[in-house]
Structure 1
């Protein structure tokens, strides 16, 4: 299975063939092999970017975190937790490279945030990345120029 080059640093992913002939990729956060889809290709590259380039601690990140939105069980793609408390600080929503980042994608991540109330939201299709900081007191959303390093998160 060929996937496009992403707007992220290259990563040497661990892959193997699964029981049903599907390509599987090692997820460093879930510590198991998962099916390699186009969206998973983006997730794995982005998680490695957060870990290696941005200094995010692996122990504070979780993939596929369950959240209940309006009585429906959903899953956040990646969540960063605060070091001092087990509260979510940042949510990342991934799309496959061929899926454009639209208002619908922002609506999806905002629905998760209506429950989690995090400080930062990131959406990425591996080619385009958007990060915004939430200011609940001022009821403002500020789009940032890039993905903040872990120590820059306020």
Structure 2
């Protein structure tokens, strides 16, 4: 798999029927190693190892309801009180982070009301916080580290 713009993390992999699978520490099972899954697993390690978010506050492929339709976010990080702190949308490295990706995440967040969003294809990372009082988002260079 392609080198991504994340620190060098170690991953558990195994071969199943001539295909490589990678272990997901949140879902606690192996998944077929495809480009978007490679990005998602880097994001999980980024959250756990680099930003020290507890595994217990992270969900993968979380379904949310948007305008009577079920949508799925790749990664959701909760606050200790159960509200949503961070939503993360992962794309494969060959998929650019465009205005369309930003708009998709913003639409999904109408229901979730997360404080932060992260969009990544593993090569480009976009982070922004949302102020619901002023109804503005602020692009920032990094998401905050976990703070209980």
Residue 147 of structure 1: how far off its partner (Å) = 2.5
Note if 1:123 corresponds to 2:119. Answer: yes
* 2:48 corresponds to: 51
For residues 67-121 of structure 1, the C-alpha deviation after alignment (integer angstroms, 9 at most, x for no partner) is: 12222222110001111x2111110000111111001111111122011001000
* 1:16 corresponds to: 14
Runs of 4+ in 1 over 3 A off after TM superposition: none
What's the TM-score, normalizing by structure 2?
0.94
What's the TM-score, normalizing by structure 1?
0.91
Which stretch of structure 1 is more off in the superposition, 68-77 or 126-135? 68-77
Q: Which ranges in structure 2 are unaligned for 5 or more consecutive residues?
A: none
Note if 1:138 corresponds to 2:134. Answer: yes
Cα separation, 2, equivalents of 1:128 and 1:67? 25
Residue 145 of structure 1: how far off its partner (Å) = 1.5
* 2:79 corresponds to: 82
Q: Which ranges in structure 1 are unaligned for 5 or more consecutive residues?
A: none
Taking only aligned residues, the RMSD between alpha carbons, in angstroms, comes to 1.4
